[in-house]
Amino acid sequence: MNAGSGDFAPYYIASNRHGVLTQSSNALARIDAWRPHEEGKRFTYSFGVDALGGYSSSVDYMRFQEAAADAAVPAGGLAVKNGLLVPHAEHPARVWLQQLYGELRYRGVFLTVGMKEHTSALLSSTLSSGDLVESGNARPIPEVRAGFHDFQNIPFTNGWVQIQGEISYGKPMDNKWLRNHYNYYYGHLNQGEFYSYKRCYFRTKPSQPFSVTVGMQVGAFFGGTTNWYTDGKYIRTRSYSRGIKQFFKMLVPTDGSTLAYYSGSSLGCWDLHLRYRLPSGASVKAYMQKPWEDGSGIGCLNGFDGVWGLQYTAPQPGLISGAVIEYIDFTNQSGPMHWDPDDNPGTTITHRAEGADDYYYNHEYNPYAYYGMAIGTPFMVSPIYNTDGNMVFAYNRMRGFHIGVEGVITPELSYRVLGGYRRSWGRYRDPLPEPRSDTSFMLEAGYSPRKVAGLTVLAQFALDHGTLLGNNTGGMITVRFSDVLRIGGRRK
């Protein structure tokens, strides 16, 4: 259960929770059952099911209605060209399926089918601000995913070089959510699209005191049908191919036309992690994620943009079991002007001004989000917060910092502290008249009494302060019973 003073739960209560909790007030029940893998076996399988239900508060979103010029403006509404923007209430489903999956493993490879929650492959799921491509901030997308379930030794390297990689194809199921939250006044809406994710990492021998991990990951939308609107008027529709050829192009990009466009909308990042293990057994990691959406980003030409972090991990749980500090910058995108002579056959103007970067957004596809929550880092304010019904990342020209600390006070009592500051100038295409900022904080305490096996009580207090998300204070209490019933096994 949670309650707060704003329309939405405080930032750190809602973020990196797989989209489960977004509203200001919730009273939810959650039940899950699973079969884990049997470690040590060459072939093993697992499956799981996870469902939620209960009450969540509503939030008003704007939607366009045609109206006469002298039409009365309803409470909370707004008169615009050709009509009105009228508020309507929306809330999450009262019951939904969060996870339903089956997974096979053989030696070092796996195959997963269904909805399964994923977190960042390299960043801390409890302390980091979030991975730029897949952070665990949004609900899981139904997909087929295959790859190496852990880093595997590359032959003939004697364990000095390891590889890890995954690829997936999925089908987002949030069409109804998008239709209900979009304002139908400006911009565009894509429905029926597919999702693809892939990554490849290389790591030096982890048993050594110093180890390096480097690689790339990318997520993308492709296919579907997009409708455009201007001043409340439907402008045009474009449908994109969903054939097997497009699936292949998402794996191996090729020129889509003489204009050298590529299929779909891609968002990726370069990852670099440097880890050093101290003689005490503790480890220190320095890491970087550099975002890209086109050639300039892949070439690391967007300045200091990205996540720059330091992480400390203790050799065993203690008063400080782990700590993270991160600097995040998205202010070095190229500006809104764009001129590419390749886009205009026959032009005599050959100079280039290739700009119009717009992180987490695309001129033909939906923002990089699922059920309104960023699939990548929640540090980039998600579209669910846009109560004006605008389906964009409205504040993606942003920079700030984030800290996280966790530890164990007693064997039964743990804590976690998260805090951060963000300042945004809007988007390059739609700059704010004045910058907006946000300071957020969360304190979490967990209690797991030894005398009651499987019981955990979790309490969180959090707040947001500033002009970006508004002033918001809230708290949450979670009571969890784990390992309630076992079938075909013994409680350990």
Q: For residue range 269-302, list pLDDT tens digits in order.
A: 999 999 999 999 999 999 999 999 877 778 888 8
- In 139-193, DSSP assigns E strands to 143-148, 152-153, 161-170, 187-191
pLDDT at 211: 98
What's the pLDDT band for 258 if we cut at 50, 70, 90?
A: very low
> Tens digit of pLDDT for each residue in 455-486?
999 999 999 999 999 999 999 999 999 988 88
> Tens digit of pLDDT for each residue in 363-373?
889 999 999 99
Indicate if the pLDDT at residue 210 is higher than 60.
yes
> Tens digit of pLDDT for each residue in 423-438?
999 998 889 999 999 9
Better pLDDT: 467 or 343: 467
Q: What average pLDDT does this structure show over 342-348? A: 74
d(CA 220, CA 117): 18
> Tens digit of pLDDT for each residue in 53-83?
999 999 999 999 999 888 899 999 999 999 9
Indicate if the pLDDT at residue 358 is higher than 90.
no
Indicate if the pLDDT at residue 118 is higher than 90.
yes
Q: Exposure of 488 by Cβ count < 10 A (0-12 exposed, 13-18 middle, 19+ buried)?
A: exposed
Q: What average pLDDT does this structure show over 187-216? A: 96
Indicate if the pLDDT at residue 342 is higher than 90.
no
pLDDT at 354: 64
Per the CB < 8 A criterion, the answer to whether 223 and 238 are in contact is no
- CB within 8 A of 97, min separation 6: which ones? 49, 50, 51, 115
Indicate if the pLDDT at residue 236 is higher than 90.
yes
Indicate if the pLDDT at residue 191 is higher than 60.
yes
**Phi, psi at residue 15, to the nearest 5°?**
-80, 150
Better pLDDT: 295 or 10: 10
Indicate if the pLDDT at residue 492 is higher than 90.
no
What's the pLDDT band for 255 if we cut at 50, 70, 90?
A: low
What's the pLDDT band for 345 if we cut at 50, 70, 90?
A: confident
> Tens digit of pLDDT for each residue in 145-165?
999 999 999 999 999 999 999
d(CA 228, CA 238): 9
> Tens digit of pLDDT for each residue in 306-336?
999 999 999 999 999 999 999 999 999 876 6
What's the pLDDT band for 27 if we cut at 50, 70, 90?
A: very high
pLDDT at 85: 96
pLDDT at 485: 87
In the block, residue with structure tokens 């013994």: 490
Q: Tokens representing 387? A: 């109560």
What's the pLDDT band for 338 if we cut at 50, 70, 90?
A: low
Q: Tokens representing 67? A: 């109206």
Per the CB < 8 A criterion, the answer to whether 133 and 166 are in contact is no
Kindly write down the DSSP assignment for every residue of 282-332, as one continuous string: -EEEEEEEEEESSHHHHTT-STT-EEEEEEEE-SS-SSSSEEEEEEEE---
pLDDT at 260: 42
Indicate if the pLDDT at residue 449 is higher than 90.
yes
What's the pLDDT band for 259 if we cut at 50, 70, 90?
A: very low
Radius of gyration, CA atoms only, the chain: 23
- From the list 144, 158, 258, 119, the residue with the least C-alpha distance to 194 is 144
d(CA 105, CA 41): 9
Query: Under DSSP, is residue 175 helix (H, G, I), strand (E, B) or coil?
Result: helix
Q: Tokens representing 158? A: 């004697």
Mean pLDDT for the chain? 93
